Each structure stands twice: as C-alpha cells, then as structure tokens.
Amino acid sequence: MIDRIKQLEQISRKLEPLPSERSQWNKAVQEYADKFLDEFNPNTTFVISEEMGRAIYDFPIEETGKSIEEILDILKDNVDTPNLNPASGGHFGYIPGGGVFTTALGDYLAAVTNRYTGIFFACPGGVRMENLLLRWMCQMVDYPADALGNLTSGGSIANLSAIATARDYKGIKAKDIEKCVVYMTHQLHHCIQKSLRIAGMSECIVRYLPMDRNFKMNPEALNRQIEADLVGNLIPFMVFASAGTTDTGAIDPLEAIGEIAQKHNVWYHIDAAYGGFFMLSDKLKKAFKGTALSDSIAIDPHKGLFLSYGIGAILIKNTAALYQSHHHTASYMQDAFTLEEEPSPADLSPELTKHFRGLRMWISLQLLGIAPFKAALEEKVLLCKYFYTQVQKLGFEVGPQPELSIAIFRYIPDETDANAFNLGLIENFKKDGRVFLSSTTINETVWLRFAVLSFRTHLAQVDLSLTLLKDMVKHHH
C-alpha cells in the first residue's frame, strides 16, 4: 500500500508545476494576452465564421497533457476569434462588455491564492473588502450606512436575490402567490420575469404599465393600478423600475414611483444593472434622483465599471431582510460562527462557495482611482449625444434624446420595407467586422441600437460607424 501511495504521489505531483514550468506557461499566456490586446482587439469586433469553433470537439481531453502553445492555438482560432468580440471599442451592440485589464490581475491573484471569502472566519480581510465595495456602492445610490447586499455573478442573480428577499420579508406564502401583483413596463429587462419564475412567483399577476413617448413608466397609472388591485383584494407585492433600460437607456421617474410604492407599502426594486454607475458622475447623478426611496437596487460592475464579465451586485436597504432569506446554519460549520464582526456573504446570498470576485473590483479602483472611470462614463454619454446628432444629418430617423449612452435610430428607404432594410444594415456591419450594432423591435418597428459602454470606445470608433452608415445608405438618396 505504501508503495502504491508513493507511486500515485509521483503522478499527482504534476498538479504542482515546477517554477520553470510556471514561468514558461505564464510567459506564453502573457504573450497571448498582449497580442490579443495590441493586435486583434483594436481592429476586430465581429468575425463571420463558417466553423464557429467546431475544432474544440476535435481536441479531446486525454490521459496526458498537451503543450501550452498547442492549447493557445486552439483557443485563438475557436474561442477568441469567431463571432462577437465584446472587448472591442467597436462593440455598440446589446450592452457592451467591459474587460479592463486590471480585472485580470485581480482574478489571477484570487485564483492563485484561492481565498474563500464566503465566511468572515475563513477570510476576514476578503469579507471586509467585499463589504467595503458594497457600502461604497450603497453610498453612491444614497442608501443608509447600515445597508449592504452581495456581489453576484451579474444582474440576473442580483434581481433574483431581491425578489426572494421581498417575497420572504412580505411573508408571501404559496397560497398567496396567485393574488400577488408585480408592476413593470414592457421595457424592463427580461431577466426579471425569469427570476420571478425561478423564485416560485410565476403565478403572480404581472401588470404592464403604460409608458410615455420616451419609454418611461407613467407613475399616475401605477398609482391607479395599485389602488384598483387593493379594491380587488389582491396583494400589491413589488414594483420594478429601470434606471437605464437595455433598449433605449431610459430612466423611469424613480422618485415619483418611490413615493407611490412607499404610500402603498409595496417593495420597490430598481434595475440599474446598466445605468447605475453613471451616478458616480456628479453631472449625471441628477437623473437618478429617487434611488434612496427604493428597497433594493441591482447594479453591474461588469457594465458601468467596465470590469470583465462575472461581477454584478445587489444592494439591499434592509440587511436583516436579506439575511432572513439567505442564511442557513449547518452543524459542520459550527466553528465558523463564533467571531463574526462583519456579515458573511454566504449568509446574504444564494451562493456558499464562490469566486473571490471582489478582488478584481477592489484592485481596479485602487490601481486606477475613480477619476478615469468617471471620465469614461461622461465621455460615453457625450459620444452617444454626438452620434444622435450626426446620424440625423445622414437622413436617419431617431428615437428619444438619449439620457445615458444608448440611442435608437432607423432608416426609412423609399421603396423597400423599412424593417427588412434596417436588419440588412446589421448584416452589413457583421460583414465589415470593425463595428457591431444590434437591433430591437418596439411595437413591431425595428430600430437599430447604438449602445456606447466599452471603455475602449472613443471618437474614432463613433466616427467610423457614422462613415459606414453613410456609405450603406448612399444609394438610397
């Protein structure tokens, strides 16, 4: 038996690479990353691909390992080249991704040190770091000092956490669900409906409220609807407002909605996944007046703070309510609960084990300071306004004046169907590959979306997209 143990040890020790091997792998990976950032990324936003990464299936997982060079080649051709490159400054589709380089440094260190930051006892400094970041965001949205929340994988889990907390805080039982009413507009992000379903609330009544011509919720209609539902013996449960919708970047009248929610004792949740970090700028914060009235806010550092994908946040004013919904004790954890100075993330979240995702945010803010983030956010808003003005000069029809960094626009050709024509423009952008736009359909009308949120987007990329649009519609004049 001892011989067999020693024999297995020899093989299993390969899991701990020698310093020389580590240094070779580090060097190869760093060269790959630098090449991506310096050569591929600046020039490429979309690559039409026949194969679409199919060779991943021809590269099996085997008993013995392969060389780092071979592995990186497969990665480059099959994962990092085809289709959409969200790290590009030419990415104007959906809500553009982040990818600030410092994210990678934080993730690298978090992975190497493998700290478990779910429980204060295990890593007090890491828990303090994550809670510090949450309190910093709570301060930004005008929440009280004792508010907290949790760092999540993104907006979907953040919204789910808020719904579960509201459900339990309001004492909603299975028998009540069919009488519960939630209020939203058709512009609210679809992850809310998905979260309601996952939280066991899919049988509740959804009231879609009318909007004004700028796609913002009508507060008077909300008030009338809640009053009618109370008369009808229903349970007004939750109102959802958007602080920056995905389609148009609209901000609902947050303060008016908050006052109505408070009056009727309805849980008020704001989805600020995309728009929230614009509040860092004193110039832009005015548009978000009323966040202090909400009970919970979802906000994504991987959007407005430009970090790489995989970090969202839920901010909850009533920390005790969040704790009631999410904490659970197990006997095998009894040693861990003796010295709690700070609330543990595992007690405030559906996740127990998780990546130490706060480190990427902390290291980025510490290395760079807040100033460049604020400047980038203000720059994106101005670039969007500039695009909105210029695209009209090219003969495009536009939607509402952009409030944040999303504009919608469309071209109306003389003889062909406008919806088909605008979808055709999207295809042309894909073929060109330098810039990527997406489309949306509102009331059966196809609109093109110009969403500026990549920290790498500057005037040059916006001008390029205008030039491309100009060339594409030239023969229609």
Question: What is the model's pLDDT at position 43?
Answer: 86
Compute the distance between CA of residue 326 and CA of residue 33 in angstroms, rounded to an integer: 38
DSSP state string for 45-67? SEE--SSTTGGGGGS---SS---
CB-facing half-sphere around the CA of 260: CA atoms within 13 A: 24
* Topology given in CATH for the domain delimited by 371-476: Aspartate Aminotransferase, domain 1 (3.90.1150)
Compute the distance between CA of residue 256 and CA of residue 179 in angstroms, rounded to an integer: 25
**Residue-wise pLDDT tens digits, 260-293:** 999 999 999 999 999 999 999 999 999 999 999 9
Residue showing tokens 């929230």: 276
**With contact defined as beta carbons under 8 Å apart, do 170 and 267 qualify?**
yes
Domain with CATH 3.90.1150.10 in the chain: 371-476
Does position 475 have pLDDT exceeding 90, yes or no? Answer: no
What is the mean pLDDT of the segment spanning 213-219?
97
- The separation between the first and the last C-alpha atoms of the chain, rounded to the nearest angstrom, is 84
Question: What is the model's pLDDT at position 340?
Answer: 64
Q: Which residues contact 406 (CB under 8 A, 6 or more apart)?
A: 244, 246, 247, 248, 249, 384, 449, 450, 451, 452
Compute the distance between CA of residue 42 and CA of residue 1 in angstroms, rounded to an integer: 58
Instruction: State the Rg of the chain over Cα.
Output: 25
Task: Using alpha carbons, select from 421, 416, 422 the residue that is nearest to residue 447.
Answer: 422
Q: Which residues contact 140 (CB under 8 A, 6 or more apart)?
A: 276, 277, 279, 280
Residue 333: which pLDDT band, with cuts at 50, 70 and 90?
A: low
Compute the distance between CA of residue 460 and CA of residue 302 in angstroms, rounded to an integer: 23
Residue showing tokens 């994550």: 130
What is the mean pLDDT of the segment spanning 248-264?
97
Residue 328: which pLDDT band, with cuts at 50, 70 and 90?
A: confident
Question: What is the model's pLDDT at position 330?
Answer: 62
Beta-strand runs (E) in 75-135: 83-84
**Residue-wise pLDDT tens digits, 152-174:** 999 999 999 999 999 999 999 99
What is the mean pLDDT of the segment spanning 390-409?
97
Output the six-digit token pair for 323.
Answer: 């704790």
Residue 189: which pLDDT band, with cuts at 50, 70 and 90?
A: confident
* Topology given in CATH for the domain delimited by 106-368: Aspartate Aminotransferase; domain 2 (3.40.640)
Does position 331 have pLDDT exceeding 90, yes or no? Answer: no
The runs of H, that is alpha helices, within 286-357 are: 301-304, 319-326
Output the six-digit token pair for 355.
Answer: 């990546």
Q: Is 306 exposed, middle or buried (0-12, 13-18, 19+ CB in 10 A)?
A: buried
Output the six-digit token pair for 312.
Answer: 């969202």
Question: What is the model's pLDDT at position 22?
Answer: 97
Question: What is the model's pLDDT at position 327?
Answer: 86
Question: What is the model's pLDDT at position 206?
Answer: 96
**Residue-wise pLDDT tens digits, 140-155:** 999 999 999 999 999 9
Task: Using alpha carbons, select from 239, 242, 168 the residue that is nearest to residue 199.
Answer: 168
Task: Using alpha carbons, select from 312, 343, 317 the residue that is nearest to residue 152.
Answer: 312
Question: What is the model's pLDDT at position 335?
Answer: 56
Beta-strand runs (E) in 411-444: 438-442
Q: Is 190 exposed, middle or buried (0-12, 13-18, 19+ CB in 10 A)?
A: exposed
| Lowest mean pLDDT segment, chosen from 18-27, 335-344, 392-401 | 335-344
Domain with CATH 3.40.640.10 in the chain: 106-368
What is the mean pLDDT of the segment spanning 174-178?
96
Does position 338 have pLDDT exceeding 80, yes or no? Answer: no
**With contact defined as beta carbons under 8 Å apart, do 250 and 242 qualify?**
yes
Go through the chain and tell me how many residues it has. 477
What is the mean pLDDT of the segment spanning 227-241?
98
Residue showing tokens 């828990």: 127
What is the mean pLDDT of the segment spanning 71-100?
95
Compute the distance between CA of residue 313 and CA of residue 298 in angstroms, rounded to an integer: 6
Compute the distance between CA of residue 248 and CA of residue 408 in angstroms, rounded to an integer: 6
Q: Look at residue 220 and give its three-state secondary structure.
A: helix
Residue showing tokens 């990678």: 104
Output the six-digit token pair for 337.
Answer: 């609960």
Question: What is the model's pLDDT at position 341?
Answer: 85
- What mean pLDDT, rounded, does the chain reach? 95
pTM of the model: 0.95
**Residue-wise pLDDT tens digits, 408-441:** 999 999 888 999 999 999 999 999 999 999 999 9
| Lowest mean pLDDT segment, chosen from 105-109, 237-241, 338-342, 398-402 | 338-342
